[in-house]
Amino acid sequence: MSTVKLTIDGREIVAQEDSTILEAAKSSGIRIPTLCFHERMRPIGSCGMCVVEIDGNSTSVLSCMTTVSEGMCITTQSDRLTRERQDALKKMLVNHPLDCPICDKAGECMLQELVYEHGITEVDMQPPTSKFTSAYTTPFIKSWPERCILCLRCVTACQEIQCIGALDVIEDGPNGKLISFDKDKCVSCGECIQVCPVGALVEKKASLRWRPWEVKKIRTTCAYCGVGCQQWLHVKDGRVVRVSGVEDAEPNKGRLCVKGRYGFDFIYSEERLKTPLIKENGHFREASWDESLDLVANKFKEIIAESGPDAIAGVSCARSINEDSYQMQKLFRAVIGTNNIDHCART
């Protein structure tokens, strides 16, 4: 692919000719503030934070929407750009509640960080305005419409990443745009929560139970199927309080299904088996792993001796990783001597 040479903040760089100014700057380690932009989605251009100046242009341009060209000379930081970014933030804050002390996103809110960075200490206060046409709530998701800044990340993610379309934009209202929610289409995947930069969309299960600085993030692999989605476990006081997707990891790139994102309560269920059980005289008793595995192996040997290896069949669990499923079929084919092996996800 062809490349072009351009200058950003006095630095000469080389970029792909079809890349945007924002992408070219980021690849060269030059930061341009953003709010609505997300790596996994097309540029939205709704927040106005990524404005830059181009020599020869009388007005600033959105770096997320503007393609680079040969010889382009770009400025990302200036007094004029700072004022424009401050104005963009103030427009968002006009109808944004000042509830940071109780907001679920406090401490990891992109709006909060940008407001602090740009030195905004006050704004004309007005009653918060709802940005949704109807209440956005599911068994797992709760919305705070007055906190919405209409960045449209949630809408874009629902349409482009999940291809569901439960969220959409309609041209209406005092702000020119409203977000509509179709509860019949929503599958509670939580992708909208994953990409929301503020506290407009939050998880009901994790609501107000912790703050970002109180938790430790541990990366792991989702155990619900064999895809291998990468997760962050948010752990407070030794307990998982939330699960989120790892944005830059394969294969899921931040995406999680409803089970992977919300199905972690079973970890602490009192009904979970914690030790093997062997049934004797109609009742179960606790046993060690060695005793239990020896019992299973001996039973297998008895069945094979009496009825042959085809009298035994096995089903590999879809929660197992590919390597475990491979070992399972190897055990049945090479050790037991039967091809009676299946996988529950095949059906």
pLDDT one-digit tens code per residue, 167-185: 998 876 555 678 888 888 9
- For residues 128 and 95, give the distance between their C-alpha atoms in angstroms, rounded to a whole number: 4
Q: What sign results for the dihedral spanned by CA atoms 84, 85, 86, 87?
A: positive
Tens of pLDDT, residue by residue over 76-88, are 999 999 999 999 9
Which residue ranges make up each domain of the chain? 3-77, 214-272, 290-346
Q: Which CATH class is domain 214-272?
A: mainly beta
Tens of pLDDT, residue by residue over 182-217, are 888 999 999 999 999 999 998 888 655 778 889 999
- For residues 205 and 258, give the distance between their C-alpha atoms in angstroms, rounded to a whole number: 13
Residues 6+ apart with CB under 8 A from 128: 95, 96, 97, 146, 147
Asked whether 190 and 252 are in contact (CB, 8 A), the reply is no
| CATH topology agreement for domains 3-77 and 214-272 | no
In 3D, which of 217, 212, 226, 209 has the Cα closest to residue 260? 226
Q: What sign results for the dihedral spanned by CA atoms 248, 249, 253, 259?
A: negative
pLDDT at 212: 85
81 membership: H or E segment, kind and range: helix 79-94
Query: How sure is the predictor about 338, in pLDDT bands with cuts at 50, 70 and 90?
Result: very high
Neighbours of 199 (CB within 10 A): 23
Does the predicted model carry a pTM greater than 0.85?
A: no
Asked whether 135 and 106 are in contact (CB, 8 A), the reply is no
CATH fold, domain 3-77, is Ubiquitin-like (UB roll) (3.10.20)
User: β-strands 230-236, 239-245: how paired?
Assistant: antiparallel
The phi, psi pair for 62, rounded to 5°, reads -80, 120
pLDDT at 137: 82
Q: Which of 54-63, 204-213, 216-225 has the lowest mean pLDDT?
A: 204-213
pLDDT at 204: 86
